Structure 1
Amino acid sequence: MGLVYKILNSSLFKASGIYTLSSIINAAIPFLLLPLLTRYLSPEEYGIISMYALLLSITSVFMGLSVHGAINRAYFDEKINNHKEYVWNSLIILFISSFLTFLIYFIFENYISSLIEVPTSWIWTVALVSFFQFVINSLLVIYQAQLLAFKYAKIQIGQSLVNALLTILFVIILLWGWKGRLLAQILSVLFFGIMAFFILYKHYTEKKINLYYIKHALKFGVPLIPHTIGGILITLTDRFIINNLLGLEKVGIYMVGLQLGMVLALIADSFNKAYAPWLFEKLNQNDENVKKKIVKFTYIYFFGIILLAFLMFFILKILFPIFVGKKFFEVKRIILCILLGNAFTGMYYMVTNYIFYVYKSHILAIITFGVGILNVPLTFLFVKLYQEVGAAISFMIVNILMFLFTWILSAKLYPMPWKDFLK
C-alpha cells in the first residue's frame, strides 16, 4: 500500500490526473456526439468518414517522419544541448517531407480516391490536416516533456471542442452529412495548427540548421516508420478489408464500435503521456529498489486496466440504446473485443517505454511490422467467417500478441525484475 500511496502523491500521478481528465473530456466530446451523429448520418456516411481517417493515418506516417517523438525524447538526452535548435531542425524535416507528400497526392489523387472511395476533391485535404496535426503534436510533446499538463490539456480539449461545435453546425443544423463532419475536422486542425506553429516559432525554436540534430531526429523517427506502418496494419486493416468484403455500411457500423471502445484507449494513452517522462527519470537513477517498485506498480496497472475494460463493457450495455441510433445496433456484438484489445494496448504502453529509453525503436519496428503483416490474413479470415465481429476478434488477438512480444523484447533490451515482484 505504501507504493500505491507514494505514486498517488507523486508528480507522475498529478500530471497523469490532468492528462487523464483531459483525455476523458477529449473522448467524451465525440462520444457525446454519437447519439446525434448516429441519427443524422447513415452507416455508409460513417464508412466514408472512416476511410478518410484511414488515409489520414497512413499519411501521418510519412508527414514529418515521426520525428515529433524524437523531440520528446531529446528533452531527456544529455547530448542535446539546445532543445530549441533541435525543434527547428525537426520542423525542417516536416517541411521537406510535406512537400513530397503533397506532390504524391497531386499526381495520384484519382487512384487514391478510387481505392478508398473518398471523392477526389477531398484527397488533398488529408495532407493538409496531417501537416498541421504534426505541428500540434510537436507542441504537445514539448508540453508533455516539460510537465506542462494544463497547457497540454487546453490545446487538446480546445481542438476537440471546436471540432464538436463545428460538427453540430455543419451536420445537425446545416445537414451537410459526411462532408460537414470532415469539414469540421479540417477547420479545427487548421485553427489550432496555425496557432501551435506560431507558439513553436516564437517560444520553442532557434532558427539555425544543425545537421547533427537532423540526423539524430531521423535516426529516432525513421526506424519508427515500419513500426507505425505495422501499427496501421494492426488498427486500420480491418476497415479496408470490411469495406472490400462487406461494403461501406459495415465499415460505418464497425467505426462506431471503435469509437465506443476508444474511451479506454485514450485513458491508457493519457496515463502513458505522464508515465513515460516519469519512468525515464526513475530509470536514470539505476536503483534496483526503484525498479522493483516500478514492476509492482506495472502489475497493478495490468490488473486494473483489464478490470476497467469489463466494467466499461457492462456500463455500455446498459447505456447502449441512448448512445447509438437504431441503424447501428449491430455494434454491441463487437464492443467487448474492442475494449479488451484496447486494454492490452494500454499494457503494451507500459513495457514499450523501456525500448524507447535505450533507443532501440528499430527493433520494436520489426515486431510491430511482423504482427501487422500477420493481422492482414488473420482479419481477412475472421471477417470472411464472422463479418465485422471477426474483425473485432482479430483486433483483440493481435493486440495481445503485440503486448506479449514487446514485453519479451523489452525484458531483453532493458532487464527489469519482472520475476521478483513478489519478493
Structure 2
Amino acid sequence: MSFEKKIALFYTFGALLNKAIPFLLLPFYTRVMTVEDFGIYGIFMSLFSLSAVFVGLKPNTYIVKELSSKTNRAKDTHYIIVACFIIIPLSAFVVSPFIFFITKLSFDNEFNHFFAFVCIVILSVLQALRVVVESVYQANNKVFKVLVLQISVTLISAIFVFITYFFVGISWEERVLAEVSAAVFVSLIMFYFFQFNFRRFRRKLLKLKVIDSAKFLTPLVWHSLSVVVLNLSDRLILNYYFGQQVVGKYIAAYTISMVCGVVFDAVIRAWSPYFFANAKKSKHSELIVFRGSIYLSLLALFLGALVAIVLSNIYSLILPDSYSGLSMLIIIISFAYSIEGVRKFFCCYLYLSNSTKFIASLSLFTAFCNLILNFIFVPTFSDVGAAATTLISFLFMTCVTMVFSLKKRKELLELEVS
C-alpha cells in the first residue's frame, strides 16, 4: 500500500472514530435532553459555526498549501503559527459586536443571550487555535498526532459532559458549559507542547507572513461564511416557522447523515498535501492527481447512496420514538453531502491557482439563493423542504466548481508546457 493511501486510511479511521463518539452518544443526549433543549443547543452550535468562520479564518488550506511546497519547513512553520495566533484574537475582537448582535436575536432572555455570546467567542478562538496546530501536523504528515489531538478533544468533551450530567444535570446550558471547560483544558495542554514556537522573530518577516496569510484567508472567510449559511439558514427559518421541536428533529437527522461528511473531510485531509505537492511537479504527476480526483468523486457518490439507504432504515434503532419520521431527511442530506464531497476534491485546483475570490463569489451567490429557496420551500414542506434546498444548493455549487476547476487545470497545463 502506498504512503498516501496509508495516510488516507489513517485519517478516515481516525475521523470515523472521532465522530463515532458523539454519534454513539446521540441516543444518550436525545433521551436526557428534551427535544426543545436539543433544538436550542443546535441553534447555539449553528451560531458558533458562524462565529468560528470570522474568528478562525479557516487557516487549514493556507497552512497545508504553504508547508506542502516549502523546503525549509521548520522556519516557515514557526512564522505561520505565530502569524495565525496573532490574526485569530484580533479577528475575535473585531467581530465580537456582530456575534453579540446575532446571539441577542436568537435567544429570548438576557442571561441566555449573554451566556451564549461569551461561550461562542471562547469556543471560536480555541477551536481556531486548535485548527492551526492540526493543520501544521497535517502538512508535515504527522497523522498520528492529528488523530490523537482530535480524538482527545472529543473524548475529554464527552467526559466533561458526563461529569456535568451526574452532578448538575444536562440542559443545553450545562452541556455548553461542559464543552467550553473541556476546550479550555485541551488548549492549555496544547499550548504547553507548542510554546517553543513563540520565540524571537524578525519583525519584518513576521509582518510579511501576517499580510500574506491575511490576503489568502480573507476571501475564504466569505466562502466559509457562505457554507455556514447553507447549513444555518434552514435551521433558523425552521425555528421561525415551526419552533424548536422541529429544529431538534432536523438536527438529529443531520447528525446521523453527517457520516458522509466525516469520511470526506478525513480523505481530503490526506489528499490535500499530496495534491499540492504533486499537481505542479510534472505532467505525469498532475495526471495521476487528476485521475485521483475523479476516482474519489465517484467514491463519494457511491458512499452517499450507501449511507442514505442504510441509515434511513436503522436510525429508529438509535433514536427514541419522539424522533420518528426522519427517513426522507436522512436520504436527502446524505446525498447532499456526497455531492459536497465531490466539490471539495475538485476545489483543490482553485486553491492551487489562488482563485479564492472566485470561490468566495460562488459561495456567496449560492448562499443567497439557498436563503431564498428556504423561505419558499420551508413554509410549505417544513424540514423536507429545508433538506431539499441544501441538496439543490450543493449540487449547483459542485457543478460550477467542476467547470471552473477543469478550466484552471487546462491553464496550469498550458503554463507548464510553455
TM > 0.5: yes
Residue 92 of structure 2: aligned partner:
98
Residue 221 (structure 1) aligned to one of 197, 217, 222: 217
Residue 52 (structure 2) aligned to one of 60, 64, 77: 60
Q: CA deviation at 1:106?
A: 6.1
Residue 394 (structure 1) aligned to one of 389, 407, 418: 389
Residue 360 of structure 1: aligned partner:
355
Letter in 1 for 2:183: V
SS class of match (2:194):
helix
C-alpha spacing 1:60/1:116, structure 2 compared with 1 (3 Å): farther
CA distance in 2, matches of 1:378, 1:103: 29
TM-score, structure 1 as length reference: 0.90
SS class of match (1:75):
helix
Letter in 2 for 1:246: F
Residue 124 (structure 2) aligned to one of 115, 122, 130: 130
TM-score, structure 2 as length reference: 0.91
Q: CA deviation at 1:104?
A: 5.5
Q: Deviations over 1:51-82 (max 9, x none)?
A: 11111111112214334542232213549863
SS class of match (2:162):
helix
Name the % identity. 22
Do the aligned partners of 1:102 and 1:124 also contact (CA within 8 Å) in 2?
A: no
C-alpha spacing 1:117/1:300, structure 2 compared with 1 (3 Å): farther
CA distance in 2, matches of 1:389, 1:108: 26
CA distance in 2, matches of 1:36, 1:131: 28
Count of residue pairs brought into register by the alignment = 409
Do the aligned partners of 1:292 and 1:417 also contact (CA within 8 Å) in 2?
A: no
C-alpha spacing 1:312/1:104, structure 2 compared with 1 (3 Å): closer
CA distance in 2, matches of 1:406, 1:151: 32
CA distance in 1, matches of 2:98, 2:367: 24
Do the aligned partners of 2:309 and 2:331 also contact (CA within 8 Å) in 1?
A: no
CA distance in 2, matches of 1:94, 1:417: 33
Do the aligned partners of 1:67 and 1:220 also contact (CA within 8 Å) in 2?
A: no
CA distance in 1, matches of 2:252, 2:112: 19
Please give the residue correspondences for 1:100-179 in structure 2 after superposition, counting only pairs within 5 Å: 100-102=94-96, 110-111=104-105, 113-114=107-108, 118-171=112-165, 174-179=168-173
Q: Deviations over 1:191-250 (max 9, x none)?
A: 222222333322476544322111100011111121112111212111111111111111
Q: CA deviation at 1:110?
A: 4.1
Structure 1 unaligned spans of 5+: 1-8, 419-423
CA distance in 2, matches of 1:10, 1:342: 27
C-alpha spacing 1:117/1:343, structure 2 compared with 1 (3 Å): farther
SS class of match (2:68):
coil
Q: Which moved more, 1:328-337 or 1:139-148?
A: 328-337
Do the aligned partners of 2:123 and 2:183 also contact (CA within 8 Å) in 1?
A: yes
Do the aligned partners of 2:23 and 2:256 also contact (CA within 8 Å) in 1?
A: yes
Q: CA deviation at 1:380?
A: 1.7
Structure 2 unaligned spans of 5+: 414-418
Residue 197 of structure 1: aligned partner:
191
Q: CA deviation at 1:378?
A: 0.9
Residue 249 of structure 2: aligned partner:
253
CA distance in 2, matches of 1:254, 1:99: 33
Q: CA deviation at 1:129?
A: 0.6
Q: Deviations over 1:302-354 (max 9, x none)?
A: 22222222222232234222211111113223000110011011111110111
Provide the aligned C-alpha RMSD in A.
2.5
C-alpha spacing 1:200/1:310, structure 2 compared with 1 (3 Å): same
Q: Deviations over 1:250-269 (max 9, x none)?
A: 11111001100111101000
C-alpha spacing 1:107/1:37, structure 2 compared with 1 (3 Å): closer
